Structure 1
Amino acid sequence: MAENKKDGGDAGQGAGTRVRVESFTISLDGYGAGTDQSLDSPLGIGGESLHEWVTSTRSWRQMHEQAGGSEGVDNDFAMRGNENIGAWIIGRNMFGPVRGPWPDERWKGWWGDNPPYHVPVYVLTHYARPPLEMEGGTTFYFVTEGIHAALDRAREAAIGKDIRIGGGADTIQQYLREGLIDELHIAIAPTLLGKGEGLFGKVDWHKAGYECTRFGASEKAMHIILQRKPDA
């Protein structure tokens, strides 16, 4: 299926720091992760099936120092997710499966010594922890003061580049309800999870001023870009 754009589909490009969601994948029934996250199931039961579209792309493989990979629509959307990113904000569940107070500082994320971010990453949590400096330019900062404080710190660190909001769904919803996200790329995978973390249930997207400005599909995912109207 050919990719389609509506008028103004890339409005706002180059207009200063934007807050973006990129490559957030949901199932056909609207879930961005499965239940029962664990060391063996980082995305919950069945969650890994959501991301087959991105893990097969050339962009993803290059980022993980692997050869090969597909090109086309999926690769185009995977590539755009890494463009002009100066800082990330993620929820604690995306950082790891540990719950409650940190028992120690041994857990350093899912990604090994050289995480794929290469910029400051602000982790939303209720429990303080010292910054964690990793290889490749990634430093995790643990923010206990809430989403606005994390955004302020990320904006300062981004130095004019964009801020990417990572998972999970609850983190994205918190920023959406405050009207703080400018653009979202959502991929819809042809799979059903049955239950998990839903993205759409707690946000009135139309009232919040979002419109679909771009869409395209491959055999593995339907991609849509939602942008918030400037006057919303």
Structure 2
Amino acid sequence: MGKVRVAGFGVSLDGFSAGTDQSLEFPLGKRGPEIFQWFFPTRTFRAMHAEPGGPEGTDGVDNEYAFRSMDGFGAFILGRNMFGPIRGEWPDDQWKGWWGDNPPYHAPTFVLTHYPRDPIVMEGGTTFYFITDGIRSALEQAKAAAGTLDVKIGGGVSTVRQYLEERLIDEMHLAVSPVLLGEGENLFAGLDLRALGYAVASKEATENATHVMVTKQ
């Protein structure tokens, strides 16, 4: 069986992994894109969001981590806010995520929510399943779907924190960007990762981020 991983998860120097006031205009919250300046120029990101005649993107260390952040996964888990800005009951079946008809997951993707909804089959192999009975149920279903491949806890911040608190994450790649957000959703507030049994396994710095690998001991 594969690992449970967080990968390509951006965080500011002051610990924020999303900005404030998420909306259709600001999917990552206001100023949230600042923590992904290591990711947006890469060949991997450009391939995921390819436009005819657009730039191919950069190679190098940042691209290596970007590629790994989507490689080797057989299933994904997302929080409700990661799937979209809609809160409360689903008003209809129109919203199908931020990514258009062909989301970048290409595998079963389990969305944590308090409100039931039928699965959504998308192009490219992605099917969204809406899980209402908690993070452990979502993980059991994701592991079953992934088989021997890894499961990615894709975010957002609250979802990653819940899985860390239960020590259910085996490995976490944080891309620490040299920016200060000042406010937003803090990944580390109230968490004692050392007490939970996590330790830094490696680090590698580029101009745009320090890539830190954290593993469960």
Residue 85 in structure 1 maps to residue 73 in structure 2: yes
Contact kept, 8 Å, 1:91 with 1:123, in 2: the verdict is yes
Residue 114 in structure 1 maps to residue 94 in structure 2: no
Give the 4+ runs in structure 1 shifted more than 3 A. Answer: none
**Secondary structure of residue in 2 paired with 1:78:** helix
Give the drift of 1:27: 1.0
1:20 paired residue number: 5
2:127 paired residue number: 139
2:191 paired residue number: 203
The gaps in structure 2 that reach 5 residues or longer are none
The gaps in structure 1 that reach 5 residues or longer are 1-15
Instruction: Between 85-94 and 62-71, report the one with greater CA deviation.
Output: 62-71
Instruction: Between 58-67 and 162-171, report the one with greater CA deviation.
Output: 58-67
Give the drift of 1:50: 1.2
The letter for the 1-side match of 2:27 is P
Residue 221 in structure 1 maps to residue 214 in structure 2: no
Q: Superposition pairs for residues 90-105 of structure 1, below 5 Å? A: 90-105=78-93
2:18 paired residue number: 33
Give the drift of 1:202: 2.6
Give the drift of 1:209: 1.2
Give the drift of 1:64: 2.4
Q: How many pairs does the alignment contain?
A: 214
Supply the distance in 2 between the matched residues of 1:78 and 1:123 (Cα, whole angstroms). Answer: 22
Identical aligned residues as a percent: 54
The letter for the 2-side match of 1:193 is L
Give the drift of 1:190: 1.4
The letter for the 2-side match of 1:122 is F
- What is the TM-score when the length of structure 2 is the normalising length? 0.96
- The superposition leaves residues 3-46 of structure 1 with CA deviations (integer Å, 9 ceiling, x where unpaired) of xxxxxxxxxxxxx3100000010111110001100000001110
- What is the TM-score when the length of structure 1 is the normalising length? 0.90
The root-mean-square deviation of aligned C-alpha atoms, in Å, is 1.0
1:52 paired residue number: 37
2:64 paired residue number: 76
**Secondary structure of residue in 1 paired with 2:18:** coil
